[in-house]
């Protein structure tokens, strides 16, 4: 497996574990609608939470969360709208980012941005 794919998979696993420990219910992972993807869809206290996980091996080229630009946010919103339509969801929603930096190949630094966009 390519190193960047392995880093991404490990970051998503770390993010999922983090959310579960915080009391979130994981509803879907890698949800796809057309060419758009949402990494994690979870529920927290009656709020549907769409989570984008971004990872980097280090921060020398910027922090992972900085790569979620308006274009990426719009693609996530489109997929979220379809998910809500499919599930007939009418409650509150929000969009979070979880940023993961892999240090020394084994340790992860994780930062959760609630209501990021």
Q: What is the pLDDT of residue 89?
A: 98
Q: In angstroms, rounded to a whole number, what is the distance separating the alpha carbons of residues 18 and 27? A: 15
4 pLDDT tier (thresholds 50, 70, 90): low
Q: What is the pLDDT of residue 17?
A: 97
CB atoms within 10 A of CB 76: 21
At 46-86, the pLDDT tens digits run: 999 999 999 988 777 888 999 999 999 999 999 999 999 99
Q: Reply yes or no on whether the pLDDT at 109 is more than 80.
A: yes
What one-character-per-residue DSSP string does 79-91 give? HHHHHHHHHT--S
DSSP classification of residue 35: T
At 20-41, the pLDDT tens digits run: 999 999 999 999 999 999 999 9
Which three-class secondary structure state does DSSP give residue 7? helix
CATH topology of domain 3-113: Trna Endonuclease; Chain: A, domain 1 (3.40.1350)
Pairing of strands 47-56, 93-103: parallel
Q: What is the pLDDT of residue 59?
A: 76
Dihedral class, residue 101 (left if φ above 0, else alpha if ψ from -120 to 50, else beta): beta
């Amino acid at each position: 497996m390519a190193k960047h794919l392995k880093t991404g998979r490990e970051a998503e696993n770390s993010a999922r574990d983090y959310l579960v420990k915080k009391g979130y219910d994981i509803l879907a992972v890698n949800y796809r609608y057309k060419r758009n993807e949402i990494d994690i869809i979870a529920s927290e206290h009656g709020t549907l939470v769409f989570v984008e996980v971004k990872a980097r091996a280090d921060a020398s080229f910027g922090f992972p969360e900085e790569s979620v630009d308006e274009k990426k946010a719009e693609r996530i919103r489109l997929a979220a709208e379809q998910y809500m339509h499919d599930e007939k969801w009418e409650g509150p929603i929000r969009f979070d980012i979880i940023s993961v930096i892999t240090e020394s190949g084994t340790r992860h630094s994780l930062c959760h941005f609630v209501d990021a966009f």
